[in-house]
C-alpha cells in the first residue's frame, strides 16, 4: 500500500491559498492598491503550483499559505495562459540560494547607483562606462528576486532598482533606434571586451533580456 496521506487528505495537503496584491491605475489616473485571493495545487516536489491566471494577473506580490506552515511564503510567476486561465507559480526552494541572491543583489544596488553597470566594477578607468546587456539581465533578476523574498524592505529596494535600470535603458542614450545601420535594440552592450568582440554595440542576449524585462 502507498504510504503518506491518501484521498481527501492528500488533496488537502496539496492545496494552497494565494493572496495577490498589486497596484492598478484607474481611468482617472489614480493608483489603487488592491488585493485578491484564490487557491492553487502543488503539482511537484520542487514547489510548482498550478492556479488560475486571473489570480496572479497584475500582482506585484504573491503570498502563498502552505499547509503545515504558519507564515506565508512569497512566490513568483513561472508561466501563464490567458486563454486557458491557468498559471504556474514557483514557491521558494533552498533558502541558502535565496541568501546568496540577496547578497549579490545588495552588492549590485550599492555598487551601481546609476543603474547600468560597467563591464567590470573593479576596472579603474574603463574605456566603456556601460554594459547595457548586464543591466538588462540585472533588471529581470532583481524583479524576480523581489517576488521571491520575504523581506518587504528588500522587495521595495529590488523593485525600485529594476525599474530604475529599465528607465535608464529606454533613454535615448541606450536605445539604438537612431543608430545608423543599427541591428539591435540597445546600445553600449559588450560580448567580449578582452578579445575585442561585440564591444560597445548591440548584443543579442542583451536585447532578449531587455525585451523579457519589459513585459
Given a cut of 50, is residue 1 above it in pLDDT? no
Q: Rounded distance, CA 128 to CA 123, Å?
A: 10
- Taking the domains of the chain in order of start, what are their residue ranges? 7-90, 95-214
Q: What fold is seen in the domain 7-90?
A: Thrombin, subunit H (2.40.10)
Please provide the average confidence, as pLDDT, over all residues in the chain. 84
What pLDDT is stored for residue 2 in this prediction?
47
Predicted structure pTM score: 0.58
Percent above pLDDT 70 for the chain: 87
Element (H, E) at 99: helix 95-111
Show the cell assigned to 119.
Answer: 563591464
Q: What is the pLDDT of residues 49-58, one digit of tens each?
A: 999 988 888 7
Quick check: 50 and 6 in contact, CB under 8 A? no
Instruction: Give the residue with greater pLDDT, 133 vs 59.
Output: 133
Q: What is the pLDDT of residues 185-206, one digit of tens each?
A: 999 999 888 888 888 889 898 8
Amino acid at each position: 500500500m502507498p504510504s503518506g496521506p491518501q484521498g481527501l487528505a492528500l488533496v488537502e495537503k496539496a492545496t494552497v491559498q494565494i493572496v495577490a496584491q498589486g497596484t492598478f491605475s484607474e481611468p482617472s489616473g489614480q493608483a489603487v492598491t488592491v488585493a485578491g485571493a484564490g487557491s492553487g495545487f502543488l503539482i511537484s516536489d520542487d514547489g510548482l503550483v498550478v492556479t488560475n491566471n486571473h489570480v496572479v494577473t497584475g500582482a506585484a506580490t504573491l503570498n502563498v499559505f502552505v499547509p503545515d506552515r504558519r507564515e506565508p511564503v512569497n512566490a513568483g510567476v513561472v508561466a501563464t495562459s490567458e486563454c486557458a486561465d491557468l498559471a504556474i507559480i514557483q514557491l521558494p526552494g533552498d533558502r541558502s540560494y535565496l541568501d546568496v541572491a540577496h547578497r549579490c543583489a545588495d552588492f549590485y544596488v550599492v555598487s551601481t547607483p546609476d543603474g547600468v553597470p560597467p563591464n567590470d566594477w573593479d576596472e579603474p578607468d574603463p574605456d566603456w562606462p556601460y554594459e547595457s546587456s548586464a543591466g538588462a539581465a540585472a533588471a529581470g533578476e532583481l524583479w524576480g528576486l523581489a517576488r521571491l523574498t520575504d523581506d518587504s524592505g528588500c522587495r521595495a529596494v529590488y523593485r525600485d532598482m529594476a525599474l530604475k535600470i529599465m528607465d535608464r535603458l529606454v533613454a535615448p542614450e541606450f536605445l539604438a533606434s537612431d543608430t545608423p545601420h543599427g541591428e539591435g535594440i540597445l546600445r553600449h552592450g559588450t560580448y567580449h571586451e578582452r578579445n575585442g568582440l561585440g564591444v560597445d554595440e548591440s548584443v543579442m542576449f542583451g536585447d532578449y533580456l531587455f525585451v523579457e524585462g519589459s513585459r
